[in-house]
Amino acid sequence: MDDREPAAVDYDSELRLYNEILRPAFGVGPRDHVLDIGCGTGLTTREAARQAEAGRVLGVDLSEPAIARARRLAEEDGLGNVDFERADAAQHRFPDSRFDLAISRCGTMFFGDPVAAFANIGRALRPAGRLVMMIWQARADNEWTVAIEQALDEPGGRAAGAPDPFSLGDPTATTAILHAAGFVDVSFTDVRRPVWYGPDPDAAVDWVRSFANVGQALARMEPPAAEQAQGRLREMLTAHLGADGVWLGSSAWIVTAGRG
C-alpha cells in the first residue's frame, strides 16, 4: 500500500496481501520491458519499474484520473523508466514484439472479446515473452462478493450484460481462451487471501457503496428497501471486523502463460 494514498480504503489497500505475493510472482527482470494492463494508479507499474532498473515499464488503464495520479506518483518517486497511457489494452496498437513481460492485477476480466484482446497483448510480446496475471476465481469461491450479494438480496450481484469480474474464473475455459489467442504453457496457481475493506464498519460501508454494482443495485431499489439493504451491509461488514479492520475472504488465480 502506498502511504501517500489519502483515502482510508482504496484498491491498493484492499489487495495489500495479494500485492506481497504478486511482486515475486511477476518475476520482473532488471532489463525487462514490461506492459502493465489495467494499472490503475500505478502501484504495480512503479514496483515493476524499480525491479526493471535497466528496462522500462508502460502502464495502461481506461481511467484518465487514475493515469494522471499514476504519473504524479511515479514523478514523486523519481522513476525515469516508467510511462503511463490511457488506453484499452484489448484494442490499442502496441508496438509488435516490444515487451518481455505483460502483467496485470485484476485488469483482464472485462474484455468484451477476450480471445482478440489476449491476441492483441500477445502481439506486443517478444517471442519468449510471458503473461502473468491475477484474476478472481469463481464467484462462489469469493466470500466478499457472496456476502455483499446476500446483504443486497440480489443473487448474481449485477445487472444483465454488466461487466463480470469472475469471467476468467474457470481454468478450463480461460486456458482455452489463451490457447486460442496464441499462448502456450498456461498454468494456474491457487492463491487465497482476505481482502481489506477498511479500519472500521463506517469506512467499509463507504468502500462497498463505491462499487459500481452495489451503487446500481441500491439505485434500483425504492428508498425504504435501499435503506434496509444498507443496514444489512453494515451488519455483515461489522460481523467481519477484526483487530485491524474489516476483512473478507477471497480466492484468486495467478495465471502464467508464454507467447506461442
Rounded to an integer, what distance in angstroms lies between the CA atom of residue 6 and that of residue 8? 7
Mean pLDDT (whole number) for 168-174: 98
Rounded to an integer, what distance in angstroms lies between the CA atom of residue 161 and that of residue 233? 24
Mean pLDDT (whole number) for 151-170: 78
CB neighbours (10 Å) of residue 3? Answer: 5
Domain that holds residue 53: 11-139+163-197+247-259
**Which residue, among 129, 104, 110, has the nearest Cα to 32 in the 3D structure?**
129
pLDDT for 162 equals: 64
CATH at 132: 3.40.50.150
Rounded to an integer, what distance in angstroms lies between the CA atom of residue 39 and that of residue 62? 9
Residue 70 · residue 42 · CB < 8 Å: yes
Q: Is 133 exposed, middle or buried (0-12, 13-18, 19+ CB in 10 A)?
A: buried
Is pLDDT at 2 greater than 90 in this prediction? no
Residue 220 resides in a domain: no
Residue 22 resides in a domain: yes
SS3 229: helix
- Please, which pLDDT band fits residue 161 given cuts at 50, 70 and 90? low
Q: Considering its fold, how many domains does the chain have in total?
A: 1
pLDDT for 251 equals: 98
Residue 215 resides in a domain: no
CB neighbours (10 Å) of residue 185? Answer: 11
DSSP 8-state class, residue 89: T
Return the amino acid letter for 113. Answer: D
Rounded to an integer, what distance in angstroms lies between the CA atom of residue 137 and that of residue 139? 7
pLDDT for 158 equals: 58
Residue 122 resides in a domain: yes
pLDDT in tens, 55-108: 999 999 999 999 999 999 999 999 999 999 999 999 999 999 999 999 999 999
pLDDT for 25 equals: 97
Q: Is 25 exposed, middle or buried (0-12, 13-18, 19+ CB in 10 A)?
A: middle
- Please, which pLDDT band fits residue 154 given cuts at 50, 70 and 90? confident
Which helix (H) or strand (E) element contains residue 30? none
- Please, which pLDDT band fits residue 6 given cuts at 50, 70 and 90? very low
Residue 217 resides in a domain: no
Residue 179 resides in a domain: yes
